[in-house]
Each structure stands twice: as structure tokens, then as C-alpha cells.
Structure 1
Amino acid sequence: MGRIPHRPGGPWTGILLAASVLGSCLQPAPAQTPVTIVLTPPSPVVGGGVSLAPQPPPQGFTSCSWYRSATADETSRILSYYLLTPPVQINGSVHTGRETAGPGCVLNIAGLTLSDTGNYTVKIESNTNRVLHLSLHVYGNPAGLSPGTIAGIVIGSLVGVALVGAGVYLLYARCRNETPKENGAPVLVYENLPPTAWVGSAAQPGNPSDPSPTYQTLQPRQPDVYEELKK
């Protein structure tokens, strides 16, 4: 018997085509790198500033929009940042004049107040759109002082402590170096007087000289009138 010729479009062709389509569908999609929003500084305070930056910075995006809410609602849009040459910032309805955008879809907020506490959302437009959320908390400071004022108070306190310490040291050194005259005590002046008697028993006429050496006695001398006037 002769071979049965293969006819185009037979059952094997359909099976191979179905297997090819099924294999392409089962290929895993490329995994997306997780992106989070990082605060700098991590604990912002009233009167200071903060930066909200997606990390790692998004690549190949065309624009990004920031919202002061938990959703990308147009009524809560702060601004939109378009990656053109040069970049363009278009402010939204809740922009306060303290918000600016920067490279990498960063949102910078200056002059923080307690009202800046709340939810924030960024929508990044690219070949893979992303929507990220963040809850921001702004901390107060003692008596509502600004960071510059607090730094000034600390520096002033340190300078005051240093001055007090220097004053105490100078006063202590002066007290140690004062002479008796400065304290009002009389100054005793000693002079050599000739010996009037032998040490020990009284010397008798005719007695041999005492072989021990003779010592003069130091006696306080009364200051004369001239020395009193000098005082």
C-alpha cells in the first residue's frame, strides 16, 4: 500500500498551533519592583520641612500627581509633575504654596503645620502605572517653637554656663592669691636681736664659755612711724 499523503490543515496542524498559543499564555509576567514612599526626616515637626520620595525612584515615567487624600481624587490634587524639558509643575486645588515637586516624583513640603498630618497618594504614569499611599504625621514641639529658636536657646544656655564657670574660677583664684595685708591682718616683721642670756641655767661669772653655738632670738619688731605712713 502507498503512503497517505499529508494534507495541509490536518488535525496535527491545529494541535501544534494550540500548544504554541497555550505556551505563550503560561509564561510568567515580569515581576514589578516594590516601590514605597520614604520620609526625610522620618519624624517631621511643626515649622520644619519634609520630603516624600518614592523609593526606588521610578524609571521611564512621564508624569506623577500628588493628592492630599487616601485616593487619587481630582478635588484633593496638590500638584502634577510632568517630566519635560524643563520639567513642568501644575498646581491643584489644594496646593498651599508650600509644596514643590522634584526629580523622581519627590514631593517637598516646607513650613509644616499640624494640619499637614493625614493621608497622601501619588499616581505615577508610565508603561506600568503605579498608585502609592502614605500616612504622614507631623509632630509638635515645646511651646510651638521653631527649630531655629530651640537651637538658639540651647546655644545661649551653654554660653551662660561657660561664663558662670569662668567667673567662679577667677573669684576662687583671687581669694587664694590674697596677702594678709589685703585681708586686713597686721604684717609681722622680724629682726635679729643680740642674745641676752644663755640657754639653760644662768651664766655665772668665771664660768667657762658654753661650747654650744650661740643662737640669736627672732623677735617681732614694732614698725616705726614712717612705715605706718606708707600704709
Structure 2
Amino acid sequence: MGSPLAPPHRECIPWQGLLLAASLLTFWNPPTTAQLTVESRPFNVAEGKEVLLLAHNLSQNLVGYIWHKGERVDANCRIGSHVIGTHQTTPGPAHSGRETIDSNASLLIQNVTQNDTGSYTLQVIKEDLVTEEATGQFRVYQENAPGLPVGAVAGMVTGVLVGVALVAALVCFLLLAKTRRTSIQHDLKEQQPQVLAPGECPLSPGVAPRPGPRTAAPIYEVSVGHGCSGPTGPRGPRICPDWHQLKLRHRTMILGASQVLPVM
């Protein structure tokens, strides 16, 4: 990097003559930007950072060069000038103490502010006193989050959005799994065979279920036919083995209740 800008010296008469010659040649030779170019690195620079204005396609037979703030050559907007033969750098009226001119004609501006946004013009002076000019520019922006670059902030926002999407997808998956599991359990419960008591036969479709403790149940009275014979005991007549002679009368009662319904 070049030497810091030194305060101007009144005894530097040759340099003042070079500036006068460059000013006169500006009117005699229209500036061209066909060969000389200025590149800003970076173009968008955060406030408080530094930016480098780099010159490209410099001629070999140069005497010196001058940096100006703005889109044209203006002595009042001169940042500084550099003489190649003596390696002497002189600050100008627009110098703020943050600018450094390097030996390769580049201009370094440190700790940039919003007021530094704009164009900067480089004027080079050749040995034949022919001048050539080129203009570059950059933009200064204020960082969104102090201490964090814009890329880091964008990465954090993207990560949060991705995390929210994953959580939402997981919740939906769990709800669907729970709903499916409940439906399967319900289907299995409906398909489960009926538990029967000992000695009870499974009911076929259309057969009434087994009466509960308070449901109506049929009872039957048995009457003995006239052709049955045999002694009678204390419990009543002995039933003959001829079952076809039995007459059944259907009676309904409520189990667990003392009331007996009429015979059907």
C-alpha cells in the first residue's frame, strides 16, 4: 500500500507547474475512457468498511495521476495527486484523512460513510502531457443488523423458515398417524369375536341375544299327557319319557323381578 498523504509544501514548485499543465491540457485534449477504467471493490460496501478503487489499463509512460471526487475533473474536489518519479503524494481540498493513494494509481477509502457514496474520477498524466480520465463509483449502505453481515442475516431467516416448515410437517404426520391408528383399533374391535360364557353357543344372525339380568325371558310349563303313568312323589307327577306328548305353554317373566307376565 502506498505511503500516507503528506501535507503540501510551498517549495514544491515543479509539482505546481505539473498541475497547471494538467489543467490546461484538460481543455486541449478531451478525456477518453476507451482504455483506462476504474473498478470499485466492492461496489456495494457496508458503512464503516473500506472500498478500493482500482485502475485498469494504465499506460506505461505516466508522469503522475490525480484523484477527484465526482464525475469530472475539478480542482476544488481534488482528493490527492501522486508523482511517480518522486513518489510524492499531495492531499487536496477534498481529502478527509481516510483516503490513501497507492503507487498503482488505486485509491483506498477507509471507514466509509453515506456521504462517500457517488462517483470518483481518476486523471492520469502521460510523459507527453496528454491526460486520460476514467470514472468509477460505489454505493454505501447501512447494515441491517449491527455486527452481522447481510448474508448471515439472510441465512438465519432462511433457517428459521425451514425449521417452521419441518415442525408443521411433523405435526401433520403425527396427527395423520394418530387418526389412522384410532381407525384401525376401531375396525379390530368391531371384528373381534363375541366372548361366550361356558356352555353357551354362538348366536346366529337373526337370533335374539341372551337375556340380561333385567330382560324378559321365556319360561315353559310342562303338562303331562293322559297316557303317562307312574307314582307321584312330593315334587309332583313323574314325567313320562314320551316327549311328543308334552304340551309346552310359553310364559314370559322378568328375571330378577317378582312379577310374572301372563301366559302367551
Greater CA radius of gyration, 1 or 2? 2
Instruction: Give the TM-score of the pair, scaled to structure 2.
Output: 0.45
Instruction: Provide the TM-score with structure 1 as the length reference.
Output: 0.50
Greater strand proportion: 2
